[in-house]
């Protein structure tokens, strides 16, 4: 039996813990207000003879180090490198929710996008073009209702395909303006040299250009490389975004 780790990421209140509880049989606190999951919870489930460790991350609007929750979710995805990051989106506010999905895809292609609350979207007459979204994002996209237990098997099939490598993803990557891209192109090889190729160098370079010294502090803590410089040595090196 293979073992995989699946991390649940998403905006607050998108039903991550509802799905987590359904799959693991656990009782993570759920409810209709944001910020309930403050501590990362872990549980287990099986699907098609594979065993999964599920990790319920705190809900975040971004991975830009604006809060302890964002730092925790960001660090888990970067340093723990789950086999699959399951991005849970609210079908009734896709535009806002997709922002986080794009950020996750900049860090890892080992992702599945799960559009939850499809029952609510249907009630509101929202029509979602699943094929188009999936093609654009380059990873499997599935609609579910965690509360009504709809679409769960199909979701787990896609998680399995990404976990086992049966689905080779082609994650959408944002191309920034020339100045930022030049900064990224200069910094990325330096980042790779500092921390090796195991980590998402392009994304880290982008964040360093943006002055994200919390990320630099996490790199220092998680990667015991003497080559990681002080924040002030890197930040201010490139363009101001």
* 17 belongs to the binding site for Mg ion (CB under 5 A): yes
Q: How far is the CB of 19 from Mg ion (least distance, A)?
A: 9
Report the SS3 class of residue 115. Answer: strand
Whole-number minimum distance, CB 111 to Mg ion, in Å? Answer: 19
Nearer to ligand GTP, 154 or 241 (CB): 154
CB of 11 to ligand GTP, least distance (A): 7
> Nearer to ligand GTP by C-beta: 12 or 229?
12
Sign of the alpha-carbon dihedral angle for 27, 33, 39, 40:
positive
> CB under 8 Å to 118, separation ≥6 — which residues?
91, 128, 143, 144, 145, 150, 151
Least Å from the CB of residue 27 to Mg ion: 12
Which of 42, 106, 120, 213 is in the footprint of ligand GTP by CB under 6 A? 120
Residue ranges of alpha helices (H) inside 25-116 are 68-75, 94-107
Containing H/E element for 234? helix 231-234
Among 6, 9, 23, 37, binds ligand GTP (CB under 6 A): 37
Closer residue to ligand GTP, CB minimum distance, 17 or 188: 17
Residue closest to ligand GTP (Cβ)? 59
Which helix H or strand E contains 46, and what residues bound it? strand 41-47
d(CA 204, CA 141): 26
By CB atoms closer than 10 A (0-12, 13-18, 19+), residue 219 is buried
Site mask for ligand GTP (CB under 6 A), range 134-163, x = bound: -----------xxxx---------------
Should residue 18 be labelled a site residue for Mg ion when binding is judged by CB under 5 A? Answer: no
Q: Does 108 bind Mg ion (CB under 5 A)?
A: no
> Near ligand GTP by CB under 6 A, which window of 28-36, 151-159, 191-199, 223-231?
28-36
Which is nearest to 106 in space by CA: 77, 145, 147? Answer: 77
The encoded tokens of residue 1 equal: 């039996």
Token pair 């813990």 is found at 17
Query: Does residue 32 interact with ligand GTP by CB under 6 A?
Result: yes
Given candidates 6, 9, 13, 158, which one binds ligand GTP under the rule CB under 6 A? 13
In this structure, what DSSP letter does residue 229 have? P
Q: Which residues of this chain interact with ligand GTP, rule CB under 6 A? A: 10, 12-18, 30-32, 34-37, 59, 116-117, 119-120, 145-148
């Amino acid at each position: 039996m293979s073992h995989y780790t699946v991390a649940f990421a998403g905006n607050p209140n998108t039903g991550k813990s509802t799905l987590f509880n359904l799959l693991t049989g656990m009782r993570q606190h759920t409810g209709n207000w944001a910020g309930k999951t403050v501590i990362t919870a872990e549980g287990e489930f099986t699907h098609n003879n594979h065993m999964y460790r599920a990790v319920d991350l705190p809900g975040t609007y971004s991975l830009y180090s604006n809060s302890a929750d964002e730092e925790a979710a960001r660090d888990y995805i970067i340093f723990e490198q789950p086999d699959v990051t399951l991005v849970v989106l609210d079908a009734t506010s896709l535009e806002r929710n997709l922002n986080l999905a794009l950020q996750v895809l900049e860090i890892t292609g080992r992702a599945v996008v799960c559009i939850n609350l499809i029952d609510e979207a249907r009630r509101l007459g929202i029509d979602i073009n699943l094929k188009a979204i999936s093609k654009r994002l380059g990873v499997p996209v599935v609609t579910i209702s965690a509360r009504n237990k709809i679409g769960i098997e199909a979701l787990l099939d896609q998680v399995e395909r990404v976990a086992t490598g049966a689905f080779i993803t082609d994650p959408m990557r944002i191309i920034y303006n020339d100045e930022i891209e030049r900064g990224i192109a200069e910094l990325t090889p330096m980042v790779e040299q500092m921390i090796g190729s195991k980590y998402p160098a392009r994304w880290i370079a982008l964040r360093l250009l943006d002055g994200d010294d919390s990320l630099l502090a996490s790199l220092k803590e998680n990667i015991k490389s003497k080559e990681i410089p002080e924040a002030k040595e890197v930040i201010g090196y490139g363009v101001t975004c």
